[in-house]
Amino acid sequence: MSATAASPDAARLLAEAIAGHFPDTRGRFGPFGGRYVPETLIPALERLERGVREHLHTSDFEKELGAQLSGWVGRPTALTFAPRLSSHWGANVWLKREDLAHTGAHKINNAIGQALLARRLGARRIVAETGAGQHGVASAAACARLGLPCIVYMGEIDMERQAPNVGRMRLLGARVVPVVSGDRTLRAAIDEALRDWVSDPLGTYYLLGSAVGPHPYPYLVRELQSVIGREARAQMLAAAGKLPDALIACVGGGSNSIGAFHAFVPDEAVELIGVEAGGRGAGLGENAATVAYGRPGVLHGTYSLLLQNTDGQIQETHSVSAGLDYPGVGPEHALLAASGRVRYETASDAEALEGVRQLSELEGILPALESAHALVGAARWAQAHSGGTVLICLSGRGDKDMSTLQRTLLTAERA
């Protein structure tokens, strides 16, 4: 069942999405979202929801967060025109440089915001999950900044392929706990973080890294990451004198993409495109393309699109990029797909690796493997829209992926 088929009234959902009516009071994004958790977590989620309402958009919280974003994170991040890539593709290519944010990716926007909120709510310790390691590094850095103990759960497989980030987390004072159960990647790490939170739901704050999970997390993460789109929109108007014809971002759980898209959703002339991890192919277990191949179901406390078999069992995923290796997608993305406001495509492992090569060689910018999926989508769009203007959310830098790139791109060169 596709995302579009899941929606009985796509036109209504589109109108309401453009009007900014989601989530509703139940934490629903149209038919998606909600809160499906054990009873032991309900008080903690209700407490968090009250905290979000009471603090997130107050002037004093926004001032405190703004000071951290400008003085510590390094916002606003740059908008960079890519002249050689533009010439190569035949379109005007702009990059929103989240790779230049402190710790190397967009994840820090959410991490520092939630850590500030956790401190206001009286949390004594922070738990977090991570896949590619960037959210773990961001959480560790934010907790160090605010003097909060931090525990990061990370799948054993991801710890092996993202070893530099494991070292960074430990240097920043976090305790990194390897997860050896389940698929030993991001899904299993979220499972373990939730179990930890259940054991102490009031003294512990779960700093969730993507726009997934039970309400209010998809809303909270979107609000904290929407700084990306707000900045990019203003920067495009200032630098190019107009909005882009298309905005493209990679999609795993969906935090960088929902942050980039949100400010542009009402701009119907701007085409929004999310690019998922097509991995090795279309079969279950060969990719992490949830919107492309998923069906509605419940995972990690929310109703959204999931990669599952005919019996409803969640399937293991594959992607060359650890940060996209998740069998679900945030409920707001499911809504945007169902309404037709955002088009979702896939990029294969091989295409993403080529995207890394092109941006590195043509612009001197080494992108994260996750971000390289967006480059693939942008190259396709440019081929079909000669002379158009495309904005790419460059979600992170590729230093963390060097071990993977050594085994793939650089090994192929030596051969």
- Which residues belong to the active site? 107, 129, 395
Structure tokens of 366?
Answer: 């080494």
Which helix (H) or strand (E) covers residue 390, if one does? strand 389-394
Q: Which amino acid is at 100?
A: L
Structure tokens of 328?
Answer: 């679900």
The whole-angstrom separation of Cα 109 and Cα 90 is: 33
Whether the Cβ atoms of residue 140 and residue 168 lie closer than 8 Å to each other: yes
Long-range Cβ contact pairs of 384-388 (< 8 A, separation 24 or more): 385/91, 385/245, 385/246, 386/90, 386/91, 387/90, 387/91, 387/92, 388/91, 388/92, 388/245, 388/246
Determine the 3-state secondary structure of 166 from DSSP.
helix
The whole-angstrom separation of Cα 304 and Cα 300 is: 10
Which helix (H) or strand (E) covers residue 129, if one does? strand 125-130
Whose structure tokens read 């139940």?
A: 26
Residue 58: partners with Cβ closer than 8 Å, 6 or more residues away = none
The whole-angstrom separation of Cα 205 and Cα 181 is: 23
Q: Is the dihedral of CA 5, 282, 255, 150 positive or negative?
A: positive
Burial 256-281 (b: 16+ CB within 10 A, else e): bbbbbbbbbbeeeebbbbbbbbbbee
Q: Which amino acid is at 139?
A: S
